[in-house]
Amino acid sequence: MAGRLDDMGFEPTMDASALYREEIFTDRKVGTIRVLTPVQANGTPDLARKVLFAGEAQLLTTAGALPLSFEIDARSLEEAVSKYADAAREAFERALEELQELRRQASSSIIVPDRGMGGLGPGGSSGAGGFPGGGRIKLT
């Protein structure tokens, strides 16, 4: 049973020195660009920090849509729009590499059943059912 947030040491305190105002721009076809403008705690622009641009898109897979989020290195919205395609392509390639690595790891997993889960059964070399060694090695 989960305890209260206070009991778990979780305190949802925002950092007043790291606030951003967020604006969302979309072409309603390809994706979204979020413009994060740094602000001070009173809401006025914080000119000491850089405006950030974040792109969002979706990668359609057989398991459904996989959201992609990526930073766009730009100084203006116009520049972020022009760099969106390259940044999205890089994020797409990274996501594919990560999916291929997950598939590789899943296909190379070795799972040995626990003792007593069937296997050789009575009279087998393990004597207690299952595989010899008790099935304590599990690589996933």
Lowest mean pLDDT among 24-28, 33-37, 100-104: 100-104
Same domain for 60 and 121, yes or no, is no
81 and 117 both lie in a single domain? no
**Domain count along the chain:** 2
How far apart CA 40 and CA 79 sit, in angstroms, is 25
User: Does one domain contain both 45 and 93?
Assistant: yes
Mean pLDDT over residues 31-39, rounded? Answer: 97
Residues 113 and 77 in one domain: no
**Residue 101, helix vs strand vs coil:** helix
List Cβ neighbours of 27 (8 Å cut-off, separation of 6 or more).
Answer: none
Within a domain: 57: yes
71 and 33 co-located in one domain: yes
**Shared domain check, 120 and 90:** no
Note whether 36 and 91 are same-domain residues.
Answer: yes
Q: Quick one: average pLDDT of 44-67? A: 92
The neighbouring-strand residues paired with 33 are 25, 55
Q: What is the pTM of this model?
A: 0.66
Q: How do residues 70-109 score in pLDDT, each as one tens digit?
A: 999 999 999 999 999 999 999 999 988 988 898 888 888 7
- Show the domain range for 117: 109-140
User: How many other CB atoms are found less than 10 A from the CB of residue 24?
Assistant: 10
- Whether residue 69 is found in the same domain as residue 134: no
Tokens of 131: 């595989």
